[in-house]
């Protein structure tokens, strides 16, 4: 089955700096890669996703890149703000859309310091 | 998108008892899933809740411990049976519309004492 590794486990940045979180996956058939943000006491919220037919996707301060050859994908947050502090999870699946069984990474605790 | 209501949001239970968690979606969804998230850990899929039939369980999870119901396309329940302190976790439901992204409920924080 799919195995997703995520690094780093914790990340501390200064407000305004960029943050990068990286994930690797094992199943070459995976073609859907979402990223979730989980704030304390809440369920994970989808923030951005990418499918295997594109290499990069951007939404304001958030971007995701995908390298299918190397089987890794990354989350980039620019101009970080204190409200970006949360746990971020990557995930992978070999089926399009939400009706699939996602395999999650182990999470990254991001702290944005003033 | 779909709005998912999960309850209770938290509970403290005695060992040996059972707790049923409810997940209500405001629209019909094709698939519903139940996850467990142990403190500081990632999300682990427990089972896929199938409408009108038995749930499909992942390795390490069994129906006797985690019975699941899904009587219709908008509602599902997960029961944590004969609880022990090791069952203390956050339990999350996730619901998917056909060919769209799925959404999580806000989670149930369970503490077993």
The minimal CB distance from B42 to the residues A41, A49, A89 is found for A89
Q: How far is Cα A39 from Cα A60, in angstroms, rounded to an integer?
A: 20
* Locus of tokens 């996703």: A49
Q: Is the pLDDT of residue A76 over 80?
A: yes
Please answer yes or no on whether B92 and A43 come within 8 Å at the CB atom: yes
How far, in Å, are A33, A66, B7, B50 from residue A10 at the CA level? 21, 22, 30, 36
Q: Which residues of chain B have pLDDT under 70?
A: 1, 98-101
Q: Model confidence over A4-36: pLDDT tens digits?
A: 999 999 999 999 999 999 999 999 989 889 999
The residues on A that touch B, with CB distances below 8 Å, are 34, 36, 41-46, 49, 89, 96-102, 104-107
Whether A42 and B106 lie within 8 Å, measured CB to CB: yes
Give the minimum alpha-carbon distance from B35 to chain A in angstroms, rounded to a whole number: 10
Percent of chain A whose pLDDT exceeds 70: 96
Q: Which two tokens stand for residue A20?
A: 């990068």
């Amino acid at each position: 089955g799919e195995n997703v590794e995520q690094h780093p486990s914790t990340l501390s940045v200064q407000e305004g700096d960029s943050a990068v979180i990286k994930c690797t996956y094992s199943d070459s058939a995976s073609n859907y890669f979402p990223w979730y943000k989980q704030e304390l006491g809440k369920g994970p919220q989808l923030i951005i996703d990418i499918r295997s037919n594109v290499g990069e996707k951007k939404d304001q301060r958030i971007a995701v890149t995908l390298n299918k050859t190397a089987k890794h994908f990354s989350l980039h947050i620019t101009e970080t703000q204190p409200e970006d502090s949360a746990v971020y999870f990557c995930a992978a699946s070999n089926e399009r859309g939400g009706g699939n069984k996602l395999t999650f990474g182990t999470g990254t605790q991001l702290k944005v310091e003033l | 998108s779909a709005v998912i209501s999960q309850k209770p949001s938290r509970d403290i239970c005695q060992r040996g008892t059972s707790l049923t968690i409810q997940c209500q979606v405001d629209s019909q969804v094709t698939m519903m899933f139940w996850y467990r998230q142990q403190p500081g850990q990632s999300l682990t899929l427990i089972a896929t809740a199938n409408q009108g039939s038995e749930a499909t369980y992942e390795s390490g999870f069994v129906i006797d411990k985690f019975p699941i119901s899904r009587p219709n396309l908008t509602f599902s329940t997960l029961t944590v049976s004969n609880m022990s302190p090791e069952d203390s976790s956050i339990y999350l439901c996730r619901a998917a519309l056909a060919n769209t992204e799925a959404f999580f409920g806000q989670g149930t924080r369970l503490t077993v004492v």
